[in-house]
């Protein structure tokens, strides 16, 4: 490592902050265009779906325990459990599955 670590950290922090901050600060008015508005409405669903699958399959020690966690999370979310419950159930089901299969 030759560079100054403080400068490295500052460079990445500023870059990342600008990406997050500029759209939020610059787009202050309510967008009235029906299509842009709808586009932004669908963004969270698509982004989160893309981030979850297939990445979740490789997040644990075994693809099978990951599948079990994935299915349990979907079922419990479907029946309206809150974020923390679904999250913990996913973890617990992976943990239990790995006790058996790994």
Partner 1 sequence: MKSNSLFIKGVKDGIPIFLGYLAVSFTFGISAVANGISTQSAVFMSALNFTSAGQFAAISVITKSLSYFELAITQFIINLRYCLMSSALSQKFESKMPKIHRFLISFGNTDEVFGVLSSFDGKLPPVYCYGVLLGGLPGWVIGTLLGAVLGNVLPHRLLSALGVALYGMFIAIIVPPARKNKFIAVIILIAMICSAVFSYMPILKSISSGFRIIILTVIISAFAAVIRPIEDKKEENGNER
**Residues within window 39-58 making contact with partner 1, judged by CB under 8 A:** 39-56
> Which residue matches tokens 């966690």?
69
Question: Is the bond preceding 54 in cis, omega lying within 30 degrees of 0?
Answer: yes
Enumerate the H helices of the chain as residue ranges. 5-26, 34-52, 63-78, 83-101
CB 89 within 8 A of CB 75: no
Site for partner 1 in 69-88 (CB under 8 A): 69-70, 73-74, 76-78, 80-88
Interaction of residue 63 with partner 1, rule CB under 8 A: no
Q: Could you tell me the smallest distance in angstroms from the CB atom of residue 44 to partner 1?
A: 4
Contact track, partner 1, 22-41, x by CB under 8 A: xxxx-xxxxx--xxxxxxxx
Q: Which two tokens stand for residue 51?
A: 């981030």
CB 89 within 8 A of CB 81: yes
Q: Could you tell me the smallest distance in angstroms from the CB atom of residue 86 to partner 1?
A: 4
Q: Could you tell me the smallest distance in angstroms from the CB atom of residue 64 to partner 1?
A: 12
Q: Could you tell me the smallest distance in angstroms from the CB atom of residue 18 to partner 1?
A: 9
Interaction of residue 8 with partner 1, rule CB under 8 A: yes
């Amino acid at each position: 490592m030759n560079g100054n670590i403080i400068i490295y950290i500052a460079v990445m922090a500023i870059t990342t902050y600008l990406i997050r901050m500029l759209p939020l600060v610059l787009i202050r008015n309510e967008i009235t265009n029906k299509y842009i508005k709808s586009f932004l409405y669908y963004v969270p669903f698509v982004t989160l779906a893309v981030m979850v699958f297939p990445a979740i399959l490789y997040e644990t020690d075994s693809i099978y325990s990951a599948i079990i966690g994935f299915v349990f999370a979907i079922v419990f979310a479907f029946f309206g459990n809150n974020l923390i419950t679904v999250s913990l159930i996913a973890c617990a089901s992976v943990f239990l599955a790995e006790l058996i299969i790994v």
